[in-house]
Amino acid sequence: MRFPLTLAKISFLIKKYQFSLNLPDGKRQMTEVLIIGGGVIGLSIARQLHKKGVRQITILERGRTGGEASGAAAGMLAAQAETNEADDFFYLCHDSNRLYPNFARELFDETGVDIELETSGTLYLAFTDSDEREIRHRFDWQRAAKLSVEHLSAENVRKLEPFVSPEVREALFFPNDWQVENRKLLAALQKYAALNQIEIIENAAVERLIIKNGKIVGAATANQTYAAETVVLATGAWTSLIKADGFSLPQVKPVRGQMICFQTAKRLFQRVIYSPRGYLVPRLDGRILIGATVEEVGFDKNTTASGTEFLRETALEIAPSLVNLSIADKWAGLRPFAADGLPVLGAFPEIENLFAATAHYRNGILLAPVTAEIMADKIVGKIESKYLKAFGPRRFQTAKAV
Ligand SMILES: Cc1cc2nc3c(=O)[nH]c(=O)nc-3n(C[C@H](O)[C@H](O)[C@H](O)COP(=O)(O)OP(=O)(O)OC[C@H]3O[C@@H](n4cnc5c(N)ncnc54)[C@H](O)[C@@H]3O)c2cc1C
């Protein structure tokens, strides 16, 4: 029996035809989902969309994939060390942390890349009266929220980590704050893309979004137009620079973070160690990363002598025995910061099929798995996570109107 061609079928066939069409004059064939930005957020969303069955995914990256904040980060998964109360943001971080063991396992199975998830916990040290007040406040709200947190005496800190300064007064231990090697995470996500025909186009800086009759239809670089059914802005600190035909994108500004790195032959520390002034992240290969400055200097990614000195002092306060090590490497990256310091996730109500996943500020590595799940569920399944309401791109307007 022959079925008549229904409208839905005709529209499906037109789409199929468009997907395979190479358009002339600088226009490229239509893609199903166009992701702008090849950092950890764009790459993680691409993978999750692919796992949910989307087969036409293109990532446009203005520079090198993973070459911005995601490559500059320290890789801490610090839901408890980085938050100050049990609010939506804390639970978003917490949920993402919980996803990491499976995320790491799956990535290894899919790509053979070990992202070096280390679950040995995090120490948070106090050296001064004000540090002690800070950690006691943190201990109290986390205990009230029924989180795993332990109070340690100075003696017990030094039993765990013998190279920590004898000046330490007390500490908190967060068994569920971990770390990953974020550059390996980026390598795994890139490999997943390569193995699964997710197209990544580097050196392709999107200048403007193309919106027609209230619907996104693509994006344009200086010399190429990319037609797309759906567009995701995963553009980090550069989000506000894209033009959008009179439509305003969320304001996201860059906040520079400088890092330094020591190299040791043998691993000296077993876990991430914070103080209220900075942190030390020991990698498996003997590197010790020290971070990070917090500076509003626009899009300047240079390191500075004063930044380096501050980080060296931070390291020596935590572990004076590092004094004779020379700095093996240093770099800086730009954290994406929205007006309220919180991520911007979800759909733009006035533009059909345009989504944002940006402004992860200090926690984009931690938040990558949960962001990918929330965004893919929304794009593919129209599922509204509770977090989309809390972190939606239009929350700033609503706040103004009230
Ligand atoms: C020093 C430092 C330490 C950090 N440490 C940690 C940590 O320990 N744990 C943690 O969870 N987070 C950490 N962060 C934060 C984390 O790095 C960021 O939140 C995260 O990388 C953001 O990911 P992203 O993909 O949104 O941004 P990015 O990695 O910056 O990626 C955005 C990409 O979009 C591209 N892009 C922008 N505009 C366009 C355009 N118009 N066209 C095409 N491409 C475009 C950019 O080139 C860039 O590659 C740290 C950040 C810094 C700087």
Nearest atom, ligand 1, residue 70 CA: 21
Q: What is the pLDDT of residue 26?
A: 57
**Ligand 1 contacts CB of residue 363 (under 6 A):** yes
Q: What is the pLDDT of residue 1?
A: 37
**pLDDT surpassing 50 at residue 171:** yes
In this structure, the residue with its CA closest to atom 34 of ligand 1 is 37
**pLDDT surpassing 70 at residue 109:** yes
Select from 357, 378, 376 the least CA-distant residue to 49: 376
Structural domain contains residue 100: no
The answer to whether residues 226 and 247 belong to one domain is: yes
pLDDT average, residue stretch 33-41:
98
Structural domain contains residue 93: no
Whole-angstrom Cα distance, residue 298 to residue 11?
46
Q: What is the pLDDT of residue 248?
A: 86
Structural domain contains residue 106: no
Whole-angstrom Cα distance, residue 341 to residue 359?
7
Mutate to test the pocket of ligand 1, among 45, 210, 238 (most ligand atoms within 8 A of CB): 238
The answer to whether residues 150 and 21 belong to one domain is: no
Cβ–Cβ < 8 Å for 182, 40: yes
Pull the structure tokens for residue 288.
């010790």
5-14, 15-24, 140-149: the lowest-pLDDT one:
15-24
Nearest atom, ligand 1, residue 358 CA: 26
Residue 123, phi then psi, degrees to nearest 5: -105, 145
**pLDDT surpassing 70 at residue 280:** yes
User: Measured in angstroms, how far is the CA atom of residue 368 from the centroid of ligand 1?
Assistant: 11
- The predicted-structure confidence for 369-394, as pLDDT tens digits, reads as follows 999 999 999 999 889 999 999 999 98
In this structure, the residue with its CA closest to atom 53 of ligand 1 is 333
User: Measured in angstroms, how far is the CA atom of residue 66 from the centroid of ligand 1?
Assistant: 8
Q: What is the pLDDT of residue 315?
A: 98
The answer to whether residues 333 and 270 belong to one domain is: yes
User: In CATH, what number is assigned to the domain containing residue 364?
Assistant: 3.50.50.60
Q: What angle do CA 77, 176, 191 make, to 5 degrees?
A: 40
**Ligand 1 contacts CB of residue 259 (under 6 A):** yes
The answer to whether residues 284 and 348 belong to one domain is: no
**Ligand 1 contacts CB of residue 364 (under 6 A):** yes
Whole-angstrom Cα distance, residue 163 to residue 175?
19
Q: How far apart are the first and last CA of the chain?
A: 60
In this structure, the residue with its CA closest to atom 52 of ligand 1 is 73
Pairs from 93-98 (Cβ < 8 Å, separation ≥ 24) = 93/363, 93/366, 93/367, 95/370, 96/366, 96/367, 96/368, 96/369, 96/370, 96/371, 97/176, 97/177, 97/178, 97/366
The answer to whether residues 188 and 246 belong to one domain is: yes
Q: Sorting pLDDT into bands at 50, 70 and 90, what band is 58?
A: very high
The answer to whether residues 319 and 190 belong to one domain is: no
Pull the structure tokens for residue 10.
């005709």
Structural domain contains residue 98: no
Select from 315, 335, 155 the least CA-distant residue to 238: 335
From edge to edge, which strands make up the β-sheet containing 170-174?
150-153, 170-174, 122-126, 272-275, 278-282, 287-291, 252-263, 327-338
Whole-angstrom Cα distance, residue 182 to residue 116?
9
Whole-angstrom Cα distance, residue 81 to residue 359?
19
**Ligand 1 contacts CB of residue 45 (under 6 A):** no
Which of 395 and 303 is assigned the larger pLDDT? 303
DSSP H or E run through 335: strand 327-338
Boundary (domain end) residue, out of 295, 315, 337? 337
Whole-angstrom Cα distance, residue 237 to residue 302?
16
Boundary (domain end) residue, out of 304, 337, 370? 337
Domain count for the chain: 2
Boundary (domain end) residue, out of 306, 337, 368? 337
User: Measured in angstroms, how far is the CA atom of residue 133 from the centroid of ligand 1?
Assistant: 32
The answer to whether residues 265 and 168 belong to one domain is: yes
Q: What is the pLDDT of residue 247?
A: 85
The answer to whether residues 233 and 377 belong to one domain is: yes
pTM across the whole model: 0.93
Structural domain contains residue 75: no
Q: Sorting pLDDT into bands at 50, 70 and 90, what band is 399?
A: very low
**pLDDT surpassing 90 at residue 12:** no
pLDDT average, residue stretch 331-354:
96
Q: What angle do CA 388, 391, 396 make, to 5 degrees?
A: 130
User: Measured in angstroms, how far is the CA atom of residue 71 from the centroid of ligand 1?
Assistant: 7
Q: What is the pLDDT of residue 360?
A: 98
DSSP code for 218: E
6-20, 100-114, 172-186, 376-390: the lowest-pLDDT one:
6-20
- The predicted-structure confidence for 183-203, as pLDDT tens digits, reads as follows 999 999 999 999 999 999 999
**Ligand 1 contacts CB of residue 235 (under 6 A):** yes
Structural domain contains residue 113: no
The answer to whether residues 195 and 61 belong to one domain is: yes
Nearest atom, ligand 1, residue 67 CA: 49
User: Measured in angstroms, how far is the CA atom of residue 238 from the centroid of ligand 1?
Assistant: 10
pLDDT average, residue stretch 219-248:
95
Nearest atom, ligand 1, residue 258 CA: 1
The answer to whether residues 245 and 360 belong to one domain is: yes
**Ligand 1 contacts CB of residue 224 (under 6 A):** no
Residue 259: helix, strand or coil by DSSP? Answer: strand
Pull the structure tokens for residue 218.
């693509």
**pLDDT surpassing 80 at residue 5:** no
**Ligand 1 contacts CB of residue 291 (under 6 A):** yes
**pLDDT surpassing 90 at residue 165:** yes
pLDDT average, residue stretch 308-323:
97
Kindly give, in sequence order, each residue whose CB lies less than 8 Å from that of residue 381, ignoring residues fewer than 6 positions away.
52
Q: Is the dihedral of CA 202, 208, 214, 217 positive or negative?
A: negative
Pull the structure tokens for residue 109.
């199975």
**Ligand 1 contacts CB of residue 337 (under 6 A):** no
Residue 141: helix, strand or coil by DSSP? Answer: helix
Which of 214 and 28 is assigned the larger pLDDT? 214
- Containing structural domain, residue 163: 122-175+253-337
User: Measured in angstroms, how far is the CA atom of residue 276 from the centroid of ligand 1?
Assistant: 23
User: In CATH, what number is assigned to the domain containing residue 164?
Assistant: 3.30.9.10
Mutate to test the pocket of ligand 1, among 365, 370, 371 (most ligand atoms within 8 A of CB): 365
**pLDDT surpassing 50 at residue 15:** no
| Averaged confidence pLDDT in the chain | 92
Whole-angstrom Cα distance, residue 344 to residue 289?
28
**pLDDT surpassing 90 at residue 396:** no
Whole-angstrom Cα distance, residue 46 to residue 198?
7
Percent of the chain scored above 70 by pLDDT? 92
User: Measured in angstroms, how far is the CA atom of residue 28 from the centroid of ligand 1?
Assistant: 27
Structural domain contains residue 378: yes
The answer to whether residues 295 and 247 belong to one domain is: no
Structural domain contains residue 81: no
Pairs from 263-271 (Cβ < 8 Å, separation ≥ 24) = 263/287, 263/288, 263/325, 263/328, 263/329, 264/288, 264/325, 268/163, 268/319, 268/321, 269/161, 269/163, 269/319, 270/120, 270/160, 270/161, 271/118, 271/120, 271/121, 271/122, 271/123, 271/160, 271/161
pLDDT average, residue stretch 169-187:
98
pLDDT average, residue stretch 65-91:
95
For the ranges 11-15, 23-27, 189-193, the maximum mean pLDDT occurs at 189-193
Cβ–Cβ < 8 Å for 227, 23: yes
The answer to whether residues 171 and 310 belong to one domain is: yes
Whole-angstrom Cα distance, residue 64 to residue 331?
16
In this structure, the residue with its CA closest to atom 15 of ligand 1 is 362
